[in-house]
Amino acid sequence: MNPSTVAEQSADGRGDVLIHDPSLRDGHHAVRHQLGAEQLRAYAEAADAAGVPVVEVGHGNGLGASSLQAGQARLSDDEMLAVVREALTRSRMGVFMLPGWGTTADLRKAIAHGVDVVRIGTHCTESDLAERHLGFLLEAGVEAQGVLLMSHMATPERLAKECAQLVSYGASAVGIFDSAGHYLPDDVTERITAIRAAVDVPVAFHGHNNLGMAVANSVAAVAAGAATLDACARGFGAGAGNTQLEVLVPVLERMGYGTGIDLYGLLDAADIAERHLMPAPPTIDSVAVVSGLAGVFSGFKTRVLDISRREGVDPRDVFFELSRRQAVAGQEDLIVDVALALRQDRLD
């Protein structure tokens, strides 16, 4: 038996788990969307060599999101897709899009670049916003998935209803994102169980690590019936980072789940990611903990820190006020309003 092949070590045969790797998309949040072509190529080639099934690429907020509001990327969508497409010979290429940031025109460009998997994301209670784009992808013959962001803000029953709606629009898989790193394992179990009972397509889980629970939450998800887990090399992602890929895969192997990923190749890819993609691996600092507790989108962290410093307010207060106002991804302008209000309160 080859000790480096995870799939061959899954002796008790619990089944396969599909690993979806958004390091080259979610990781952009951690470096202000400034990854260059050689960085993208180096990691994509390493992930491909390891047999990672899906490698997702793009601006942190997805197709069409490069902007002053969300952060201007170093490369255009076209440039990123071209580089990664060329680097992948085994892995499938994935992209992510939020309606309102991206458009059908952006999807057409991705299709022209040979994208294999497209995820359309919406806020957890707004799945209807994905109807048009899922329908377009269905007609185009491209694998289309629907995912719900900030999913801790909805009950298990509401998430199940929204996922069923996504399936009715043509989603071939559905998923929930713990966008704020707020969940504990029981929260995940309840939600995945409810969704599995409501749909007959694969269910995915995407974790963040603000409270140090990303791997545990991912394990809870697969135990409850999730078929796909998202994870990033060294946890490279927004805020405190995502589920750590090179930790999750051997944990799944020890539990008896197959992934088809070569462990040594995966560890090599993680080393390449640390050397070439990030100044340092994500850490759970004090602000990340507060973001997780408050249930605020992890991708807000850099802007909250920048604006809080400029306005002379405590970023922890900003996060808790954003939570009180139920802020969601796409409402970055609200950070300025909150910081100014807190500064005024202090002056008064």
Cα separation of 272 and 44, whole Å? 10
Please tell me the distance from the alpha carbon of residue 193 to that of residue 38, in angstroms, as a whole number.
41
Question: Which one of the listed residues 20, 29, 182, 206 is annotated catalytic?
Answer: 29
152/128 Cα distance (integer angstroms): 18
Q: What are phi and psi of 165, to 5 degrees?
A: -65, -40
- 67: number of Cβ within 10 Å: 14
Active site residue 29: yes
| Dist. CA 68–CA 48, nearest whole Å | 32
Active site residues: 29
